Amino acid sequence: MPGVPTQEWPVADATRYRDAGYWQGESIGAWLRARAAQHAERTAVVGGSTRWSYARLDQEADRVAAGFLARGVQPGERVVVQLPNVPEFLAVMLGLIRAGIVPVFALPAHRQTEIDNIATVSGAVAYVIPAVHEKFDYRTLGRSLRASHATVRHVVVAGVVEQDDPDLESLDAFRGDDLSLLIDPPSSSVAFLQLSGGSTGLSKLIPRTHDDYLYSVRESATICGLSPASVYLVVLPVAHNFPMSSPGFLGALDAGACIVLSPSPAPDVAFALIEQERVTIAAAVPPIALMWLEAKAITSADLSSLEVLQVGGAKLTPAIAARVTPTLGATLQQVFGMAEGLVNYTRLDDDVDTICNTQGRPISADDELRIVDDDDVPVAPGAIGHLQTRGPYTIRGYYQNAAANARSFTDDGFYRTGDLVSRTAAGYLVVHGRATDQINRGGEKVSPEEVEDHLVAHPAVLDAVVVSVPDDYLGERSCAFVIPRAERVPPPVLKSWIRNRGLAAYKVPDQIVFVDAFPSTGVGKTSRKDLRGALRALAAEQA
Ligand code: J2J
């Protein structure tokens, strides 16, 4: 079976996970088929004017699977998928996975630099895009990817394609009816590649198997109380791991529930959908939760159907957490997860104190957690340390990236999350920050190195250091300290120059501060890390 080679779980652990019933030997394609048989006529997904039943979604996935195979895309090959919150995303994702073709999920915010990099690292043979979304024409990205990557054989547009455009093909040409080429992939194979938030500039790809992902999805659906009566609202980008799997739209499908795709998290859009579709559960990052809390006072929308608001992706402050239930009437669920695997939830019946002040506890009794000091030695119970984890749905290594694997995993297979946490006596985690320099901008992860590399490429910039500064709304925002060569380029010019380098807008520094020199950190040769620490302190003082 062609497949994506990956850092596998050791045989003893894999056997244990199978024997425990975590890994059930079912592919995601077969799982969808079974859900469709069980719930055929129920509504699976609502997006725009489209409503698909479970039977229809299953059929749409079949058509994509058949179409890509008929066009010569082989099982095991990778396809970059960059689609917004539209039903076609589900058809393409589930169709490719059913065919054993491996989707690689990009976010709609990604631009040429990120897409080039993702295509290179994954060795993609095709790229699926919308025509235009949020006023951005993805077809220009598609053409440039075709021009720069000889290995990309198809750019597939879910939307309008001009007749005579030689570089672009319509998704309709990748829909078929002939399922004779379809072979159910092994459940132990890699179903798709997720993107890591990343603390360095280059994308790290996260290989998730059918077995391990379905386990986390099933358990999450149970923990979050999903049933056929649930209606799950997707307001975050649908390709992100949180709305995909915690319990996400896959958890909704597992339960026979209905998925509602919102084109935007803006209160006017999302609240209207909550009222119309009687949404029962939604997942947000802290800035969206805060925006909803503020908007509740002035909306006339009926939000009474909302039973659970999940918040995760970045730290939710206890003060904002405490406002959720009194304001929205919904139970708050904090979710601390990562695309690499481990997900923690507060439970719906936890007491208010636990819900407001912790980031939850793991899904599985077999999630192994270690909290250690800088030398990997466990800290005293209750003390703050680095979180390391290993378990039935946490990867043992990134996709083809030996250097990152040596850094990010211990010799005994624990993933170094980079998060600083403590654990309560009841086993709940509290997140205190990150040990790495990664900036968590309201749930969107920014690598300082990546932005610095682009800044110093500007002819007027001698050196640049990017750090996080506390922000009431985002939690953290980014600030670039720049040493100019001679003239100071106005910050807006520098910002648009960064954007024009083909970088996602959320990576453009929120603030640019010119300095003549960086502070001395008093430790001889200054490391970037020390420098960032000193500048973070300086920025906090000035704020
Ligand atoms: C503090 N930091 C958090 C939280 C994530 C569910 C939920 C979130 C993600 C996600 C996910 C946090 N409080 N509640 O994949 O399935 C930070 C941590 C973590 C990193 C992972 C899911 N929830 N974080 O956010 O891969 O630093 O996944 O290591 O994007 O986000 O980011 P990502």
ipTM over 0.90: yes
Paired with 385 in beta bridges are 421
Q: Which CATH topology does 439-542 take?
A: GMP Synthetase; Chain A, domain 3 (3.30.300)
- Inter-residue contact 47 to 83 (CB < 8 Å): no
Atom number, ligand 1, closest to the C-alpha of residue 340: 26
How would residue 360 be classed by pLDDT, with cut points 50, 70 and 90?
Answer: very high
Q: What mean pLDDT, rounded, does the chain reach?
A: 94
Q: Which of 224, 235, 336, 420 to mutate to test the pocket of ligand 1 (most atoms within 8 A of CB)?
A: 336
Q: Where are the domains of the chain?
A: 24-40+54-209, 439-542
pLDDT at 523: 57
Tens digit of pLDDT for each residue in 47-101? 999 999 999 999 999 999 999 999 999 999 999 999 999 999 999 999 999 999 9
265 Cβ partners below 8 Å, 6+ apart? Answer: 235, 236, 284, 288, 291
* pLDDT for res 526: 61
* Of the candidates 369, 105, 353, 390, the residue with the CA atom closest to the CA atom of residue 248: 105
Architecture per CATH, domain 24-40+54-209, reads as 3-Layer(aba) Sandwich (3.40)
- In the predicted structure, residue 2 carries a pLDDT above the cut 60: no
Query: Ligand 1: which residue has its CA nearest to atom 30?
Result: 197
Residue 311 pairs in a beta bridge with 284, 334
Judged against a pLDDT cut of 60, whether residue 4 lies above it is answered with no
pLDDT of residue 318: 97
Question: How many Å lie between the centroid of ligand 1 and the Cα of residue 108?
Answer: 19
- Would the CB of 359 count as within 6 Å of ligand 1? yes
pLDDT in tens, 127-178: 999 999 999 999 999 999 999 999 999 999 998 887 778 899 999 999 999 9
Cis peptide before 492 (omega within 30 of 0): no
**High-pLDDT (> 70) share of the chain, %:** 97
Q: Rounded to the nearest whole angstrom, what is the distance from the C-alpha of residue 344 to the centroid of ligand 1?
A: 9
Identity of the residue numbered 7? Q
Q: Is the CB of 476 under 6 A from ligand 1?
A: no
Which atom, in ligand 1's list, is nearest to the CA of 246?
Answer: 16
Report the atom number in ligand 1 closest to the C-alpha of 443: 25
Distance between Cα 244 and ligand 1 center (Å): 13
User: Which residue type, as a one-letter code, is found at position 465?
Assistant: V
φ/ψ (deg, to 5) at 46: -125, 130
Contact (CB, 8 A) for 141 and 115: yes
| Tens digits of residue pLDDT in 417-449 | 999 999 999 999 999 999 988 999 999 999 999
Confidence of residue 534 (pLDDT cuts 50, 70, 90): confident
Residue 337 Cα, ligand 1 centroid: separation in angstroms? 4
Q: Locate 103 and state its tokens.
A: 């989707």
Q: Which of 126-130, 228-232, 372-376, 470-474 has the lowest mean pLDDT?
A: 470-474
CB neighbours of 136 closer than 8 A, spacing ≥ 6?
none
Beta pairing class for 308-312 and 281-284: parallel
Q: What is the CA radius of gyration of the chain?
A: 23
Is 334 a pocket residue for ligand 1 (Cβ < 6 Å)? yes
Question: Residue 180 Cα, ligand 1 centroid: separation in angstroms?
Answer: 40
